[in-house]
Amino acid sequence: MAVVTALTLTACGDAATGGEKPEDYPSKDMDWTIAFGPGGGNDIMARKLIDLLNKQKLYPGDIRVENREGGSGATGWGYLFSHRGDPYGISTTSGSFITTPLQASTGWTYDDFVPVGLLATDNALFVVNSTSGITSWQQWVQHAKTKGKVAVGGIGTVNIDFILHALLARQAGYQIDYVPFNDEGQLQTSLLSGALDAAMSNPAEIAGQVRAGKMNGLMFTGGKPLASLPDIPTGESLGYRDLPSMPRGLILAPDAPKYAQDWWIATMKKVVRSPEWKQYLTVNQLTEDLRWGQDFHTYLKQTAGELETVLREHGAIK
């Protein structure tokens, strides 16, 4: 029986890798899943990484990119999960990678995937439609309290965006009706049409609308002001602390072989040293935070515990 089990496991591994030798990796095209629609922070970072891999000629084959959106990331990461043992499936992470399994029966959690590395953390910009006439956080709080309950939006159902909205509303003393979206375009359209009172978004996705005067930025959740929008106050400067950030990292399919993990860690270490990547972090107001392999997994485990505690306190999950 032990021999049969060993042969079965070996056969499964060979089927997933195609009998590929570690020294030959990579020798096939890569299947890169983006778990959200075009235009969002996850999409922007993934395409930047792919662009740098191609420019630096670090990946010998083609990288096929597909937006597999739906279910706050459940569809895309579920697709990657179904390719267990495949060294040619990869995806970028976001807050939903941690929070979606907490509130839905996805069949997977962060713990199932092979971690490559955390590359950066992403903070958010709280915005309102400029036609609202609201230009400061204090005006927003007064408006929200007067209205009784305000409609606020973000990407994902139970995600970092929701957690930020919930934390701010509780501390400031107003009520929210949170509206989730799968992609950035829908979120911005709803805010500009007046369907939402406010939204939480990543600076890379929304700063252009603020600079164009279509939206007013009232708060940035990072520790330091945005370089491109320095007049927008930080949450800390307004008295709000311990606001969570979104993890921007890279994962492989469950049970992907160690030689694939090692190759991607070594390759991404080259990418993050490049001037183009440093410039991307600056332009998009991301905070560099490099943690590789098991260190990235430890970070995900700790963050998942902290977010689960907040979500239970707010009744978002049971």
Residues 6 or more apart whose CB falls under 8 angstroms from that of 50 comprise 32, 63, 65
User: For the packed helices 294-313 and 96-103, what is the interaxial angle rounded to 10 degrees?
Assistant: 50
CB 264 within 8 A of CB 296: no
Of 45, 94, 103, give the one whose Cα is nearest residue 73: 94
Distance of CA 180 to the CA centre of its chain: 15
CB 300 within 8 A of CB 117: no
The model scores a pTM over 0.85: no
pLDDT at position 6 is 37
List the structure tokens of 272. 């993050």
Residue type, 3: V
**Segments in the chain forming alpha helices (H):** 2-17, 41-55, 74-81, 96-103, 137-147, 160-172, 184-193, 203-211, 258-271, 275-283, 294-313
* Residues composing the chain: 318
Reading phi first (left if > 0) and then psi (alpha if -120 to 50, else beta), residue 57 is in: left
- Compute the distance between CA of residue 47 and CA of residue 216 in angstroms, rounded to an integer: 28
Q: Is 87 exposed, middle or buried (0-12, 13-18, 19+ CB in 10 A)?
A: buried
Backbone angles phi, psi at 25, to 5 degrees: -80, 140
**Could you give all domains of the chain from N- to C-terminal order, each with its CATH number?**
21-122+247-313 (3.40.190.150), 125-238 (3.40.190.10)
pLDDT at position 155 is 85
pLDDT at position 16 is 58
- Compute the distance between CA of residue 39 and CA of residue 204 in angstroms, rounded to an integer: 9
- Compute the distance between CA of residue 140 and CA of residue 92 in angstroms, rounded to an integer: 34
Residues of the chain with pLDDT under 70: 1-18
